[in-house]
Amino acid sequence: MLQGRRVLIGVGGGIAAYKVCQVISTLAKLGVEVRAILTDNAQQFITPLTVATLCRHSAYTDELFWQPSQPRPLHIELGEWAEVMLIAPLTANLMAKLVHGLADNLLTSTILASTCPVLLAPAMNTDMWHQPSVQRNWQLLQTDLRYHAVNPGSGILACDRVGMGRMAEPSEILVYLHSLLYTQGKRDLIGKHILISAGGTREHLDPVRFIGNPSTGKMGVALAQAALHRGAKVTLVHAPMETRLLNSLSGVRLLPVISAVEMRQAMLNCFPEADWTIMAAAVADVRPTEYSAEKLPKRLLPNQLPLSAAPDIVAELSHIKRSHQRLIGFAAQTGDIFTPALEKLQRKRLDAIVANAIDQIDSGFGSDHNQAIFIDHEGRKVAIGQCSKLQMAHHLYDFIHTMSGKPVMAMRDEDEWHG
């Protein structure tokens, strides 16, 4: 996906410029062709030599911009070369220049001479960030659909203040760049509310013991990221998962739950407002019949644990789904992944299902990669080879877009499904 792709990075004059080095280094190691422009102020924080070494290519500065020896204007060459641009850190001064279309240096001239999507990563002192003039500029800039935003976070700043203004972490910026390289900046989910479930539910026997599964929630997180990057409003109902995964979801509404019962209630509450619902969570099939509010001594643990059925959330949602809504399920399988997934799609009257193999190397639970077969209610199927979970999420949204608008045939449980 990334080998040979072209990313142009514009570095603004702020202390957060040091973070950009990690972005450049990671992209280069993935085979991306990286070029970088440093403003004069940026060179007060990192050197062209540092950036050139990480890029495996000379860094560009205003000194080169004004030299007449170029066969074509440098800003035109760079603007046409770039598939995606990243501006990081985006300073208050640089933001104002972009809002007003100024072109007084190599970086701003290159932006105006290009048509590719531009990812903006602001960073500044918290008082500067909260200035009404800066906030007006920030909001105005985002009305241009060419510009994509990775919002600053909150924390301890270089000036020792605590508040908003920290540039997004390199990991979050890299994920967004991957999305833009896939989508070429399209926002085909604007106006859509995407509801996603993620992670493995826990069915507790007592406060320290539970029935669970290996799901980490990475697929659900990737689905949320991809939907957000394509312009959707996103709600993620998630079982317990690592904080670092949740920290990558700035702009996503997060609803934490633990058990299948809690997830059921959260999904039912959110479902009426959702256009597309994707049940990527690994929801428990059974739960202990009895729960002890205190930890059970080992000697009191039952030899045979009484179990009862956990709620079948996706089946319940399919019964209340309206004609304009889409409901997509997941089926984690071993061996033959197609047949049981098709049976689940038919039995639960889903619009589509993702059959993903969990017994393949570097795929499924806990992995950063996945492979799957998409099946819709009209019988179409698309096989997706091993790829990153973010790329898998984008493939799924492309698949949903191509689905027929016909409603799923209503049927009783004993009826056969005819496609």
- Where is 193: in which H helix or E strand? strand 193-198
Residue 357 has a pLDDT of 87
Identify whether the C-beta of residue 280 lies closer than 8 Å to the C-beta of residue 263: no
pLDDT of residue 102: 96
Which residues are the active-site residues?
159
CATH class of the structural domain 6-183: alpha beta
Q: How far apart are CA 391 and CA 281, in angstroms?
A: 18
**pLDDT on residue 204:** 96
Kindly report the three-state secondary structure assignment for every residue of 86-109. Answer: EEEEECHHHHHHHHCCCCCCHHHH
Provide the pLDDT for residue 69: 66
Every domain of the chain and the residues it spans: 6-183, 193-401
End-to-end CA gap in the chain: 34
Which residues are registered as beta bridge partners of 331?
Answer: 355
| pLDDT value, residue 410 | 39
Q: 251-274: per-residue pLDDT in tens? A: 999 999 999 999 999 999 999 999
Residue segments in the chain with a per-residue pLDDT below the cut of 50: 409-419
311 is in an annotated binding site: yes
Q: Whole-model pTM?
A: 0.92
- Paired strand residues for 155: 163
DSSP H or E segment with residue 154: strand 153-156
Class of domain 193-401 as given by CATH = alpha beta
Given this model, what pLDDT does residue 364 score? 81
Q: What single-letter amino acid sits at 187?
A: R
- Contact criterion met (CB below 8 Å) for 368 and 358: no
Residue 344, annotated ligand binder? Answer: yes
Is 285 annotated among the ligand-binding residues? yes
Does the annotation flag 295 for ligand binding? yes
Please check if 314 is assigned to a binding site: yes
Cβ contacts of 216 within 8 Å, gap of 6 or more: 199, 200, 241, 242, 245, 365, 366
Contact (Cβ atoms closer than 8 angstroms) between residue 348 and residue 329:
yes
The reported pLDDT for the residue numbered 264 is 98
CATH topology match: 6-183 vs 193-401: yes
330 annotated to a ligand binding site: yes
Beta pairing partners, 37: 10, 60
